[in-house]
Structure 1
């Protein structure tokens, strides 16, 4: 992570309170994280939807799935944010997603 702002634990993010109430110490241990953010078949399907919805075409496969995993994590945790709305993702989740590619 490049800055202090980017090095945040999900327990520091009030928007993720609902996920914290499910009894996990880290978002990467949440039962939904693996299937929503790391399953290649889910990511492939979601990327196709994002490509149609937003018109984005990312040629590099690793970049494509990393982008999609970040997008799905935000959707999983916050729901729909709106066009061009950005949030800081938990550092542990970003690391786990980067390790996938």
Structure 2
């Protein structure tokens, strides 16, 4: 695993940790139907933090573990800012972590 992939893997763990710290981590997965939403970020079936836990984190981990091509851009911080615009203080650390993820993913290897 190269340095960029290692940094991304470490960052995914930090995002997971913050979801747990905030109490947004769930032990039980949403229904298969909810996870299969065709909408971006599953906005019609999942809360943003559910999407992070059940779709984003697992998909990114698989990409890193299989040494697959990583996305060249990420706008996840912008989405999170929209979701948490009414509670920016609560989500401050998560927003910072997602912003750093965006920066890491756009760096060329």
TM-score, normalised via structure 1 length:
0.28
Q: Tell which has more relative contact order, 1 or 2 (C-alpha 8 A, sep 6+).
A: 1
TM-score, normalised via structure 2 length:
0.27
